[in-house]
Structure 1
Amino acid sequence: MSHHPDVPPADRASPFASWHGDHAGIRVPDFDSAVAWYTGKLDFRVLSTMALGEKTLAMLCPANDDSFRIEFIAGPGCTARPAFDELIDTHAIGGWHHLCLRVDSVDDAITELRQRQVRIVSAPKDAPALGLRFVFISDPWGNLIELAQQL
């Protein structure tokens, strides 16, 4: 990926220099259904769970990556996002849009996801300016996941 010429170098002297990505939180209405979908369709692994009042929290990670996690916040009071047929329609909702997972091959991932009946929201696209090939999928609650491959 090419960087914008005005991007400053990393600042190791910043008081925030130790910050690194850790996890993304996803609100889901039903804990058991969400765990079943993410473990059954995407091969995520459940690392831990805990109760927090009426909610259940869980940390999950991809099949072969312990460094990135998704936190489920499950329980009553959750409104699902709409299921979109076109990626452009998703841009109408403010806030967090998606999370992205790096893959070796977008096309191989899509082949397997279709066999697992995962909703594919966009056709794979190349973005040479970003150095990526990408596709968007959705869980049953409308949460978007981008799969990105380095070109």
Structure 2
Amino acid sequence: MAAVDRARLDHVGLNVRDLDGMTDWYVRAFGYREQVRLALEALDLRIVMLVDDEGRRFELLARSDGAPGLRAATPVQAAATWGFGHVAFVVPDLVATHARLIALGGSDVSAPSPSPEEGWWFAWVHDPEGNLVELIGQPPA
């Protein structure tokens, strides 16, 4: 088998309805900062690239003629549909982050609980537009 150049995931893109509102939510929810904001007028496409302190990037994209796609109610439902299902973040305080995201306008999907992967806990929320967000952290103290 031929050698494969090692690749690094650069970013994940999420199509949103309200670019400014969702930019604000992800900045406040996870501490991202805005790295790039641009508009491709000929494509009716606006883009915001967010970045965290370690260089991980998260792209938000919006078009005026965008239409809703998959809005899975649960992680199990998302897994039954091909394509993008959820985005996951490792957080330092799972319980506090879960509560804070709900206070910021997210909605609860499942409270913090033990993960099938030993030694980890997880929780799920919907962001304000209904996208599934997984939170991963250490067991609560």
TM-score bracket, shorter-length normalisation: 0.7 to 0.9
Give the CA deviation at 1:57: 1.0
Aligned residues: 136
> 1:57 and 2:39 equivalent?
no
User: How far apart in 2 are the matches of 1:118 and 1:43?
Assistant: 16
User: How far apart in 2 are the matches of 1:141 and 1:108?
Assistant: 21
Change (3 A) 1:82 1:128: closer
Q: Which amino acid aligns with 2:83?
A: G
TM-score, normalised via structure 2 length = 0.78
Q: Which amino acid aligns with 2:97?
A: A
Aligned counterpart in structure 2 of residue 145 of structure 1, from 112, 133, 141: 133
Aligned counterpart in structure 2 of residue 39 of structure 1, from 27, 38, 50: 27
Q: Which amino acid aligns with 1:147?
A: L
User: How far apart in 1 are the matches of 2:29 and 2:92?
Assistant: 18
SS of equivalent residue, structure 1 residue 122: strand
SS of equivalent residue, structure 1 residue 131: coil
Change (3 A) 1:21 1:150: farther
Aligned positions of 1:61-72 closer than 5 A: 61-62=51-52, 65-72=53-60
Asked if 2 retains the 8 angstrom alpha-carbon contact of 1:30 and 1:75, the reply is: no
The alignment's C-alpha RMSD in Å is 2.5
Instruction: Indicate the percent of aligned positions where both proteins have the same amino acid.
Output: 28
Aligned positions of 1:87-98 closer than 5 A: 87-98=75-86
SS of equivalent residue, structure 1 residue 21: coil
**Runs of 5+ unmatched residues, structure 2:** none
State the structure with more CA Rg.
Answer: 1
User: How far apart in 2 are the matches of 1:37 and 1:129?
Assistant: 28
> 1:14 and 2:3 equivalent?
yes
1:116 matched to which residue of 2?
104
